Amino acid sequence: MSNGRTMAQSADSIETSSFLKDFLALIKIGIVNSNLVTTFTGLWLAFQFSNRNFLFELDLLFYTIAGTALIIAGSAAMNNYIDRDIDPVMSRTKSRPTVTGRFKPSSVLILSISFMVIGEVLLFSATTSAGLWGIAGILSYVVLYSMWSKRRHVGNTIVGSISGAIPPLIGWAAVEPTLGAGALALFLIMFAWQPPHFYALAMRRTEEYRAAGIPMLPVVKGFARTKKSIIAWILLLFPLPFLLSGLGIWFIILATLLNVGWLYFGIRGFKTGNDLKWATKMFIYSLNYMTILFVSMIIFSIFS
C-alpha cells in the first residue's frame, strides 16, 4: 500500500512539474523576466533622479512590477494563441502547450485577457501614466506585431521593437508620470538593441521562418543584407548612453566598450565561414550586453 501511495505521489509530482513547465512556456517566462529587468531599471532611475526613496513607496514598486509582469505574460500568452497555426512548423515552437494541446485555445484566451486586465488595474493603481503606457505596450505587441506585421512585412522586427522598448517607460512613469530625457534614453536603447538581437536569432532559424511563411529579414533579403542591418543598428546605439550622462563618465565608458565589442564581432561576420555559428555568438553577446548595461545603470545611479 505504501509503495502504491509513493508511486501515486510521484506521478502527481511529475504532473505538477509538467503543468508548471507548460504554464511558464505559455507566458514566455524568459521574456517576462528580461522585461522586468528593464522595467525595474526605469523605476529605479526615476526614483534616483527625483531624489525619492523607494523604501517609502514599496506599494508603488509592487503595483508596477506585478502589473508589468502580468501584462507581459498575458500578451505572450495571446501571442501563443494567435500563432498556434504556425508554431507546429517551427522546431523552436512546436512544443508550446498551445501546439501540444496541453492548454485549450479557449483557456489560453481567458488566461491572457485576465492577466492583461489585472495587470492594467495594478498599473493604473501606480499612476495613470503607467497604466496608459501599459496599454500602449499591449496594443503594440498584440495588435501591431502579432496580428499585423509579423506575417506581412519584412519590417516586423522593427515594429515588434516598439513593444519591447516600452517596459522601462512603464517603470519610469510609475514614479514620474511626465517622463523625461532619461526615460527617452531607455526607450531608444531598448528599441535599437532589439533588431540586431532578433536578426541574429532569425538567422539561426531562417529555414524555420521560411517554412512558416514569416517574412523575417534573412528570409526575404538574405544573410548579407541582414549583417549590414545588424551593423547599422549597433552603430545607432553608440550615441545613446550619452543621454544618460547623469550616471557618470564611467557608465558612458562601459556602455561604449560594450558597443565597440558588439561592433567588432558584428564586422567579423563579413569574413566568417560559418554564418550560423557567428549568429549564435552575436545572439549570446546581445543577451549579455542588455543584462550588463541595465544592471550597470542601477549600480552607477547609486554612486552618481
Determine, yes or no, domain membership for 2.
no
Q: What span, in angstroms and rounded, lies between the C-alpha atoms of 280 and 254?
A: 23
- CATH number, residue 106: 1.10.600
Instruction: Specify whether the CB–CB gap between 154 and 221 falls below 8 A.
Output: yes
User: What residues make up the domain containing 120?
Assistant: 24-303
Instruction: Specify whether the CB–CB gap between 244 and 199 falls below 8 A.
Output: no
Q: Radius of gyration of the chain from Cα atoms?
A: 21
Determine, yes or no, domain membership for 14.
no
Determine, yes or no, domain membership for 5.
no
Q: What span, in angstroms and rounded, lies between the C-alpha atoms of 198 and 156?
A: 11
Instruction: Specify whether the CB–CB gap between 249 and 256 falls below 8 A.
Output: no
Tens place of pLDDT per residue across the chain (304 aa): 556 555 445 445 555 668 889 999 999 999 999 999 999 999 999 999 998 888 889 999 999 999 999 999 999 999 999 999 888 888 777 878 888 888 899 999 999 999 999 999 999 999 999 999 999 999 999 999 999 999 999 999 999 999 999 999 999 999 999 998 999 999 999 999 999 999 999 999 999 999 999 999 999 999 999 999 999 999 999 999 999 999 999 999 999 999 999 999 999 999 998 999 999 999 999 999 999 999 999 999 998 7
Determine, yes or no, domain membership for 138.
yes
Nearest to 61 by CA among 72, 73, 71, 47: 47
DSSP state of 96: S
Determine, yes or no, domain membership for 224.
yes
Instruction: Specify whether the CB–CB gap between 73 and 32 falls below 8 A.
Output: yes
What would the pLDDT profile of 55-73 be if each residue is shown by its tens digit? 889 999 999 999 999 999 9
Grid coordinates belonging to 169: 517607460
- What is the DSSP track for 121-167? HHHHHH-HHHHHHHHHHHIIIIIIIIIIITTT-TTHHHHHHHHHTSH
Determine, yes or no, domain membership for 6.
no
* Integer angstrom CA distances of residue 178 from 172, 186, 244, 274: 9, 15, 17, 47
Burial zone of 147 (CB within 10 Å; 0-12 exposed, 13-18 middle, 19+ buried): middle
Determine, yes or no, domain membership for 15.
no
Q: What span, in angstroms and rounded, lies between the C-alpha atoms of 67 and 80?
A: 20
Total number of domains constituting the chain: 1
What would the pLDDT profile of 70-118 be if each residue is shown by its tens digit? 999 999 999 999 999 888 888 777 878 888 888 899 999 999 999 999 9
Burial zone of 168 (CB within 10 Å; 0-12 exposed, 13-18 middle, 19+ buried): buried
* Cβ-proximal residues to 59 (8 Å cutoff; 6+ apart), any chain: none
